Amino acid sequence: MPIEFDDRQNPVPLPPVIHTTPIETIGKVIPAGDALFNKATWISLGCALVLSAVWLWCCWCSFPGIPWNDTRVAPAVALHKGISIYSLANSGPVSTWIYGPLPLLVMWPAGLASNATRAIEVAGAMALASLWLKISRLPVLPNVQAYREGTYLAARMPEKIWFPLHPLVTLYSDGRFYHDLDGLCERTFAGQRPTDPHFFAHVPRQRRVSATLLPVGWGLADIAEGRLPPDNPVRTFGLWRLDGVPE
């Protein structure tokens, strides 16, 4: 076994060499049934695509039969023809359109149709396209930013910060299971609000701050925020609202 020498000339054995499998040979030893995209996977994907296509086709076919869709498309076509759809109190057609102009501009191509049938079909296709774009935006990674920030806050203020809606954070950082706001609300609605000794026994011993995700806030001030000293400052940290005086 090869050796090397330190500054004191004492032989130090090197760790044994680990022989790895060349990357080009890995694929040759993976069984066919373990492949990522085997036949069953492709069949499942094909069935999902077929079902999605059938569902979209059914939605497009039913689009003209819903009266509300007509009243939404008509203002866009009217705007295309130069007709104002924002009427005054005593003049102009009264329509259901009480929204801003952006949806009208999105539906503007429907006004290019030669008749009402084609216009409602074009509008239906555009509505389904927008729906498809929404549902196809799949998340890439779990949305755990709030937990990273909460873990950081809990580490900076051990047993001094309470997360009423996220007891999991302090369950790991403080090793204790504190009250959660949902349970406190249920007890209050049931007329069995915890007493002060019971309340303070299951919140951080040196609580100075309570943290909730924006824009949730508190909701029931008499349960949570009211248990802190009056006139607490409110600060923000990332996604969190902090009620209290952090050190």
Whether the full predicted model's pTM is greater than 0.85, yes or no, is no
- The answer to whether the beta carbons of residues 170 and 179 sit under 8 Å apart is no
pLDDT at residue 155 in the model: 93
Percent of the chain with pLDDT over 90: 6
Residue 74 has pLDDT above 80, yes or no: yes
User: 3-class secondary structure for the chain?
Assistant: CCEEECCCCCEEECCCCCCCCCHHHHHHHCCHHHCCCCHHHHHHHHHHHHHHHHHHHHHHHHHHHCHHHHHHHHHHHHHHCCCCCCCECCECCCCCCCCCCHHHHHCHHHHHCCCHHHHHHHHHHHHHHHHHHHHCCCCCCCCCHHHHHHHHHHHHCCCCEECCCCHHHHHHHCCCCCCCHHHHHHHHHCCCCCCHHHHHHCCCCCCCEEEEECCCCCCCCCCCHHHCCCCCCEEEECCEEEEECCC
Half-sphere exposure (Cβ direction) of 51: Cα atoms closer than 13 Å: 6
Residues 6+ apart with CB under 8 A from 50: none
pLDDT at residue 30 in the model: 44
Residue 5 has pLDDT above 60, yes or no: no
Model confidence over 33-72: pLDDT tens digits?
555 557 788 888 888 888 888 887 887 888 777 767 777 7
pLDDT at residue 126 in the model: 84
pLDDT at residue 161 in the model: 92
pLDDT band at 28; cut points 50, 70, 90: very low
pLDDT at residue 158 in the model: 93
Residue 201 has pLDDT above 80, yes or no: yes
Based on its alpha-carbon atoms, the radius of gyration of the chain, rounded to whole angstroms, reads 31
Model confidence over 130-187: pLDDT tens digits?
777 766 665 656 778 889 999 999 999 999 999 888 889 999 999 889 888 878 877 8
Q: From CA 223, how far away is CA 168, in angstroms rounded?
A: 20
Top mean pLDDT of 9-23, 82-96, 199-213, 220-234 is at 199-213
Sequence ranges of the domains in the chain = 41-135, 145-244
